[in-house]
């Protein structure tokens, strides 16, 4: 559908791509940017100055606000490593991570370190373990992700400028459901009067998480979970092709199905004091390779309920944040320290599941 609209020059000024994590929304928005901004013919493989900048997230005609979950991408990099064959894709993910935290004062030191790595291409390969430690420190520093009015105002200033190399100036808001009330109000004003030569692309896990007034101003495109052959093609292109069979077999443990995770969670939540049920669920989760996926799901449930903190005491807010940090620590222990998945998950559930249920 998008391809036909590009060919007919009938793209809207504002569009919304929504669907589950890992369904290709951001990659599609980036490829759309590349095609419409290309100074040549927009065909795949074009390496004109505009396409080169877009693919590497360094184009002056592209402004990205990113508050989506990047853990899945870096979990795969952690599993399969980086080589000269795929370092360009890895650097692109690193730039996307830096964009996620570019407006956050408390991560300024870590972002400066990351930018130093990006400035020296050999450092990415030679100091890979040190770099990945920095990446996970950054991911752990900001579990509650909010798009603020300052970010939207910066985007508005960008859209008011004239395009450089490309034909369009493109704004991508990745994880648009994370806009707070002020940011959504500010965005509405932008969408009402989008400058000529500007294109706005929103991505979200669900359109229902956005105001209906915002959705009504967008042309909406629904994304579904990728078919296995499509997942295989993406993995083959982005990661080590020679490790494709291993990668593909493990893919479901990273790109998890939220419906499966919900079944695990609901069974635990309704039997929180039953150790037999807990052991049964843990055994199923670990056997199916869903351990980190389950912890991600619990984190997502807590993030969606951040608004409950508005009327809570300082002590409760601290406990809530501490709980999220414990989940991140358990997750990181499994991925980074190769801790035993079953014992780590059991230990977390025994000490924290009652608190999780209280908030969820």
What are residue 203's phi and psi, to 5 degrees?
A: -120, 145
**From CA 116, how far away is CA 6, in angstroms rounded?**
38
| Cβ–Cβ under 8 Å, residues 39 and 165 | yes
What confidence tier does 307 reach under pLDDT thresholds 50, 70, 90?
low
| Cβ–Cβ under 8 Å, residues 151 and 65 | yes
Alpha-carbon dihedral angle through residues 268, 270, 273, 274, given to the nearest 10 degrees: -70
In the sheet with 14-18, reading across from the earlier edge strand, the strands are 62-66, 169-174, 198-204, 14-18, 219-222
Which two three-digit tokens encode residue 204? Answer: 């979200």
At residue 252, does pLDDT exceed 80?
no
**From CA 301, how far away is CA 297, in angstroms rounded?**
6
Q: 82 versus 241: which is more confidently predicted?
A: 82
**pLDDT at residue 284, as a whole number:** 87
Q: CA–CA distance from 5 to each of 8, 10, 35, 170, 342 (Å)?
A: 5, 5, 12, 17, 49
Site of tokens 């984190």: 299
| Cβ–Cβ under 8 Å, residues 217 and 188 | yes
Give me the residues paired with residue 234 across strands: none
Instruction: Give the mean model confidence (pLDDT) for residues 219-234.
Output: 79
Instruction: Give the mean model confidence (pLDDT) for residues 51-78.
Output: 86
Q: 322 versus 218: which is more confidently predicted?
A: 218
Give me the residues paired with residue 63 across strands: 171
Helix axes 275-287, 341-359, angle to 10 degrees: 120
**From CA 235, how far away is CA 243, in angstroms rounded?**
10
Would you say how long the chain is, in residues?
A: 360
275-314 in b/e form (b: 16+ CB < 10 A) is eeebeebbeebbeebbbbbbbbbbbebbeeebeeeeeeee
**From CA 320, how far away is CA 318, in angstroms rounded?**
5
**pLDDT at residue 244, as a whole number:** 43
Q: Which residues contact 112 (CB under 8 A, 6 or more apart)?
A: none
**From CA 151, how far away is CA 65, in angstroms rounded?**
7
Q: Could you report the per-residue pLDDT of 98-121, keeping only the tens digit for each? A: 888 888 777 788 888 888 887 765
**From CA 260, how far away is CA 253, in angstroms rounded?**
11
Instruction: Give the mean model confidence (pLDDT) for residues 277-294.
Output: 84
Cα 250 off chain centre by = 19
Alpha-carbon dihedral angle through residues 133, 139, 141, 145, given to the nearest 10 degrees: 170
**From CA 187, how far away is CA 179, in angstroms rounded?**
9
**pLDDT at residue 253, as a whole number:** 44
Q: Could you report the per-residue pLDDT of 3-38, keeping only the tens digit for each? A: 777 767 778 899 999 988 778 899 899 999 999 888
Q: Where are the beta strands (DSSP E) in the chain?
A: 14-18, 62-66, 169-174, 198-204, 219-222
Q: Could you report the per-residue pLDDT of 199-211, keeping only the tens digit for each? A: 999 999 888 889 9
Helix axes 258-269, 291-304, angle to 10 degrees: 80
Instruction: Give the mean model confidence (pLDDT) for residues 157-161.
Output: 90
Question: For the whole model, what pTM was predicted?
Answer: 0.67
Site of tokens 């791509």: 17
Instruction: Give the mean model confidence (pLDDT) for residues 327-336.
Output: 74
């Amino acid at each position: 559908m998008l391809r036909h609209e590009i060919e007919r020059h009938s793209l809207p000024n504002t569009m919304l791509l929504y669907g589950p994590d890992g369904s290709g929304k951001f990659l599609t928005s980036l490829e759309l940017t590349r095609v419409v901004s290309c100074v040549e013919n927009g065909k795949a493989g074009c390496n004109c100055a505009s396409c080169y900048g877009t693919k590497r997230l360094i184009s002056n005609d592209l402004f990205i606000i990113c508050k989506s979950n990047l853990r899945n991408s870096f979990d795969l990099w952690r599993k399969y490593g980086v080589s000269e064959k795929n370092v360009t894709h890895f650097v692109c993910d690193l730039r996307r991570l830096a964009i996620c935290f570019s407006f956050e004062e408390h991560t300024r030191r870590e972002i400066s370190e990351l930018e130093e790595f990006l400035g020296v291409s050999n450092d990415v390969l030679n100091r890979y373990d040190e770099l990945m430690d920095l990446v996970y420190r950054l991911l752990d520093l900001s579990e509650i992700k909010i798009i603020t009015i300052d970010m939207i105002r910066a985007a508005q200033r960008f859209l008011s400028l004239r395009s450089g190399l490309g034909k369009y100036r493109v704004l991508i808001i990745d994880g648009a459901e994370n806009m707070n009330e002020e940011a959504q109000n500010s965005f509405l004003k932008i969408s009402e009067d989008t400058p000529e030569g500007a294109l706005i692309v929103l991505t979200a896990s669900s359109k229902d998480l956005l105001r209906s007034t915002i959705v009504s101003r967008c042309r909406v495109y629904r994304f579904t979970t990728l078919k296995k052959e499509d997942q295989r093609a993406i993995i083959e292109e982005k990661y080590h092709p020679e490790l494709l069979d291993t990668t593909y077999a493990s893919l479901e443990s990273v790109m998890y199905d939220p419906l499966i995770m919900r079944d695990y969670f609901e069974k635990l939540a309704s039997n929180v004091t039953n150790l037999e049920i807990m052991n049964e669920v843990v055994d199923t989760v670990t056997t199916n390779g869903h351990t980190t996926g389950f912890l991600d799901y619990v984190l997502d449930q807590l993030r969606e309920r951040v608004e409950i903190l508005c009327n809570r005491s300082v002590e409760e807010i601290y406990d809530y944040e501490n709980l999220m940090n414990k989940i991140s620590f358990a997750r990181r222990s499994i991925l980074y320290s190769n801790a035993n998945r079953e014992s780590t998950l059991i230990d977390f559930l025994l000490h924290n599941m009652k608190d999780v249920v209280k908030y969820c």
